[in-house]
């Protein structure tokens, strides 16, 4: 029930924001902030509740809620959260808080509708992370698109419409293929057992012929790799990220991409272990291509948000590589990578947004030497640039290292090429740092350094990324049951 409450708080608050914006704009901000904050606290509460009892002994699914929705099709309103889901929920609400905070002064037009969209996007994402009915999952999967589309198309930059179309059409294409796959699975399962159901647990027991399994899995996988995104389906990302408002980029990079990874972990591998094992090599290859290609593209960019966007492509390559190595270590690394990438890239987008707010440009050729006027921002940027190039002590390193460590036994050559990503990530990261903050000062007008709100946001992010870097164990423990199940499933399949 608590999960339902969480999602509905966001939805209802979103509505209120829209309606109340006519009267009082600042109240809207507070409403949305408190709605996300309540959700954040609720998630913390659940986690705290379960940390009282040792996690390893408790059942995998910590919270569950189930109700009939469309019984005529066997569709139920089934929400449940295990460690992975809770973790991602935590990330979702954490970044949600930051998104609300960073929009505080950025958005002046249609504020109510803006926060409506923001909250509904968050609700959709939260729903994706906890939905255990495939239809419901698809439902949330699509629900988060529309508000996100609005966020880009209304409050975005100059080329926002193109970006918004592209984003929507790409993800929708994947989504519909997934819907087809879901339906196929539903009917195969129904024909086998006689009960037609979209429930995750019932569908888990479906036995599929190799061919059917391959096709159905491809439907799922395609939707997820588009969202992830893996090369060559990544083209929506640079456009969407660079044109979206700051909070939009933050949510896109920090959360939306994670839904793709989450989908692979939650659905593709458990539902189709054999088929997943069969294409593991290819998937890892695409992961590695993504790592290298994204890094090369990032290096070439001159638009700061585009650059950061391509780093996401590179980082998400690790996710693909890790998942399909089917090793516990690698999967733990994937989870770490998801969380830390959300934080670090989100932070970079926040910084890019702040730069844009001050300089009114995203072109790094017009920046330079900003450290002199904004040392605090420079320091923060340094932390996250270092995080994105995988410096130990910061969270991202743990993720990438574990992924590679786990992937190495699975496929040595690919893991080695992926490790070369370290070099490339250094190339683009330092280039970013140098072009923006170092070098001679090019901008004469005095620039304001971070204000208290911005500083608080950034410090929260720094603390979390460092904490994840030096003490990631709670995260690892939390997702261990999920990961173990996955690994066992995969090992049974490959045997």
Partner 1 sequence: MNNLIALIPAFPFLGFLLLFLIGRQLPKPFIAWIGAGTVCAAAVLVLLLGIQFLQAPPADGAYTQTLWQWLSTGHFSCAFRFRIDALSLVFVFVITFVGALIHLYSVAFMKEDRDYARFFASMNLFVFAMLVLVMADNLLLLYLGWEGVGLCSYLLIGFWYETPANCRAANKAFYITRIGDTAMAIGLFLLFKELGTLTIPDILNASPTHFQQGASNTTLIALLLLAGGMGKSAQLPLQTWLPDAMAGPSPVSALIHAATMVTAGVYLIARMHVVFQLSPLAMAATAVVGGLTLLVAGFSAMVQTDIKRILAYSTISQIGYMFLALGVGAWSAAIFHFFTHAFFKALLFLAAGVVIESLHHEHNIFRMGGLKNRLPLVFKTFLAGAAALAALPFVSSGFYSKDQILWYTWSAGGGSPVLWMLGISGALITAFYTARLVIVVFYGEMKTPVSTYPAKLMTVPLVILAVLSVVAGFVEWPHNILHLSLFSELVQKVLPATILRTGIPSEIVFQGIAILLTLTGIYSGYYLYYRNTHVIGQWQQKPAFVAVRNFFFSGWGFDRLYNTVFVKPFVWMTDLNKTDFFDQINKGLASGSRQLNRWFSYSQNGSLRWYVAGVLVGVLFILTLQLFV
Partner 2 sequence: MDGTQFYGLLPFMLLAIASIVVILLIAFRQSHTVIQVVGFLMMCVVIAAMWYVRDRLPVVITPLFIVDGYAALFTGLIVFSVLIVGLLSYIYFEEREENPKEYYILLFLSTLGAAILTISRHFISFFIGLELLSVSLYALIAYLRTRNNAVEAGIKYLVLAAVTSGFLLFGMALIYMETGSMDFTVIAQKSDRWSSVPFITGIGLMVVAIGFKLALVPFHIWAADVYQGAPSPVTSFIATVSKIGVFSVLLRFGLSIQLQTNTTLLYVFSAIAIASMIAGNILALQQKNIKRLLAYSSIAHLGYLMVAFLPGDNAGVEAAVFYLLAYSITILAAFGIVTLLSSSNQDAEDLELYRGLFRSRPVMALVLTVAMLSLAGIPLTAGFIGKFMVLTTGVHVGLWLPVSVLVVTSVMGIYYYLRIITTLFTDAPAAVSTGKSLHPFFYMATYTTLVVLIVLLIVIGVFPNIVIENIRQFLRLG
Nearer to partner 1, 78 or 234 (CB): 234
Q: Any contact of residue 317 with partner 1 (CB under 8 A)?
A: no
From the list partner 2, partner 1, none, partner contacted by residue 4 (C-beta under 5 to 8 A by kind): none
Q: What's the number of CA atoms in the CB half-sphere (13 Å) around residue 462?
A: 17
Could you tell me which stretch among 11-19, 24-32, 75-83, 228-236 binds partner 1 (CB under 8 A)? 228-236
Site for partner 2 in 446-485 (CB under 8 A): none
Contacting partner 1 (CB under 8 A), which of 129, 349, 371, 384? 371
| Rounded Cα distance, 342 and 411, in Å | 26
From the list partner 2, partner 1, none, partner contacted by residue 363 (C-beta under 5 to 8 A by kind): none
From the list partner 1, partner 2, none, partner contacted by residue 231 (C-beta under 5 to 8 A by kind): partner 1
Query: Residue 119's closest CA among 142, 80, 147, 85?
Result: 147
Q: Any contact of residue 22 with partner 1 (CB under 8 A)?
A: no
Q: How far is the CB of 108 from partner 2 (least distance, A)?
A: 13
Cis peptide, bond prior to residue 301, ω within 30 of zero: no
Q: Any contact of residue 154 with partner 2 (CB under 8 A)?
A: yes
Q: Other CB atoms closer than 10 Å to residue 261's CB: what's the count?
A: 25
Q: Which residues of 116-151 are buried (b: 16+ CB within 10 A; e: fewer)?
A: bbbbbbbbbbbbbbbbbbbbbbbbbbbbbbebbbbb
Q: Any contact of residue 386 with partner 1 (CB under 8 A)?
A: yes
Q: Any contact of residue 456 with partner 1 (CB under 8 A)?
A: no
| Rounded Cα distance, 373 and 436, in Å | 12
| Cβ proximity of 405 and 478 under 8 Å | no
| Cβ proximity of 450 and 377 under 8 Å | yes
From the list partner 2, partner 1, none, partner contacted by residue 71 (C-beta under 5 to 8 A by kind): partner 2
| Rounded Cα distance, 14 and 11, in Å | 5
Q: Any contact of residue 179 with partner 2 (CB under 8 A)?
A: yes
Q: Any contact of residue 393 with partner 2 (CB under 8 A)?
A: no
Site string for partner 1, 113-132 (x = CB under 8 A): --------------------
**C-alpha separations of 401 from 103, 167, 300, 317, 422 in Å:** 34, 31, 25, 13, 10
The SS3 assignment for 104 reads coil
| Cβ proximity of 377 and 351 under 8 Å | yes
Phi, psi of 306, rounded to the nearest 5 degrees: -65, -40
From the list partner 1, partner 2, none, partner contacted by residue 422 (C-beta under 5 to 8 A by kind): partner 1
Query: Residue 89's closest CA among 258, 224, 229?
Result: 258
Nearer to partner 1, 198 or 397 (CB): 397
| Rounded Cα distance, 140 and 405, in Å | 34
Q: Tell me, rounded to whole angstroms, the distance of Cα 353 from its chain centroid.
A: 19
| Rounded Cα distance, 209 and 207, in Å | 7
- Name the residue with tokens 């997820």: 224
Query: Residue 332's closest CA among 267, 277, 403?
Result: 403
Q: How far is the CB of 263 from partner 2 (least distance, A)?
A: 16
Contacting partner 1 (CB under 8 A), which of 127, 248, 472, 481? 472
Q: Any contact of residue 138 with partner 2 (CB under 8 A)?
A: yes
Q: Any contact of residue 137 with partner 2 (CB under 8 A)?
A: no
DSSP-assigned letter for residue 229: T
Contacting partner 1 (CB under 8 A), which of 391, 443, 447, 460? 391
Q: Any contact of residue 180 with partner 2 (CB under 8 A)?
A: yes
Contacting partner 1 (CB under 8 A), which of 6, 128, 231, 414? 231
Positions touching partner 2 (CB under 8 A) are 68-73, 110, 135, 138-139, 142-143, 145-146, 149-150, 153-154, 161, 164-165, 168-169, 172-173, 176-177, 179-180, 183-184, 186-187
Positions touching partner 1 (CB under 8 A) are 166, 231-232, 234-235, 238, 296-297, 299-302, 327-329, 332, 369, 371-372, 375-376, 379, 382, 386, 391-393, 397-398, 401-402, 404-406, 408-409, 412, 415-416, 419-420, 422-423, 426-427, 430-431, 434, 437-441, 470-473, 476, 480
């Amino acid at each position: 029930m608590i999960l339902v409450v969480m999602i509905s708080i966001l939805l209802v608050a979103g509505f209120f924001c829209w309606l109340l914006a006519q009267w009082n704009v600042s109240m809207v901000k507070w409403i949305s902030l408190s709605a996300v904050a309540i959700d954040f606290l609720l998630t913390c509460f659940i986690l705290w509740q379960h940390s009282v009892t040792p996690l390893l002994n408790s059942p995998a699914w910590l919270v569950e809620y189930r109700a009939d929705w469309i019984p005529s099709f066997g569709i139920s309103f089934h929400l449940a959260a295990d460690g992975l889901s809770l973790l991602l929920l935590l990330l979702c609400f954490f970044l949600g808080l930051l998104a609300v905070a960073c929009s505080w002064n950025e958005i002046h037009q249609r504020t109510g509708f803006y926060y409506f969209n923001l909250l509904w996007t968050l609700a959709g994402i939260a729903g994706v992370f906890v939905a255990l009915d495939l239809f419901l999952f698809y439902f949330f999967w699509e629900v988060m698109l529309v508000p996100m589309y609005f966020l880009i198309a209304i409050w975005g930059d100059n080329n926002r419409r193109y970006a918004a179309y592209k984003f929507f059409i790409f993800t929708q294409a994947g989504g519909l293929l997934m819907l087809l796959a879901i339906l196929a699975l539903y009917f195969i399962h129904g024909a086998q057992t006689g009960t037609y159901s979209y429930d995750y647990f019932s569908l888990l027991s479906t036995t599929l012929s190799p061919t059917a399994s391959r096709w159905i899995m491809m439907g799922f996988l395609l939707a997820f790799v588009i969202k992830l995104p893996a090369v060559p389906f990544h083209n929506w990302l640079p456009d969407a990220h660079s044109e979206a408002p700051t909070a939009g980029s933050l949510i896109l990079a920090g959360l939306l991409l994670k839904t793709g990874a989450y989908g692979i972990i939650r659905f593709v591998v458990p539902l189709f272990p054999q088929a997943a094992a069969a294409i593991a090599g290819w998937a890892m290859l695409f992961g590695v291509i993504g790592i290298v290609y994204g890094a090369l593209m990032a290096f070439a960019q001159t638009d700061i948000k585009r650059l950061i966007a391509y780093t996401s492509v590179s980082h998400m390559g690790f996710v693909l590589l890790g998942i399909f190595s089917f090793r516990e270590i690698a999967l733990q690394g994937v989870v770490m990578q998801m969380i830390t990438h959300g934080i670090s890239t989100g932070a970079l987008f926040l910084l890019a947004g702040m730069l844009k707010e001050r300089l009114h440009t995203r072109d790094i050729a017009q920046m330079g030497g900003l450290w002199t006027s904004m040392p605090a921002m420079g320091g923060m940027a340094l932390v996250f640039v270092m995080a994105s190039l995988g410096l130990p002590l910061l969270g991202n390193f743990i993720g990438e290292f574990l992924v590679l460590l786990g992937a190495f036994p699975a496929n040595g050559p690919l893991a080695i090429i992926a490790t070369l990503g370290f070099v490339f990530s250094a190339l683009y990261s330092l280039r970013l740092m140098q072009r923006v903050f170092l070098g001679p000062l090019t901008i004469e007008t005095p620039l304001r350094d971070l204000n208290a709100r911005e500083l608080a946001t950034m410090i929260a992010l720094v603390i979390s990324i460092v904490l994840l870097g030096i003490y990631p164990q709670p995260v690892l423990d939390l997702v261990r049951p999920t990961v173990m199940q996955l690994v066992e499933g995969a090992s049974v399949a490959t045997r």
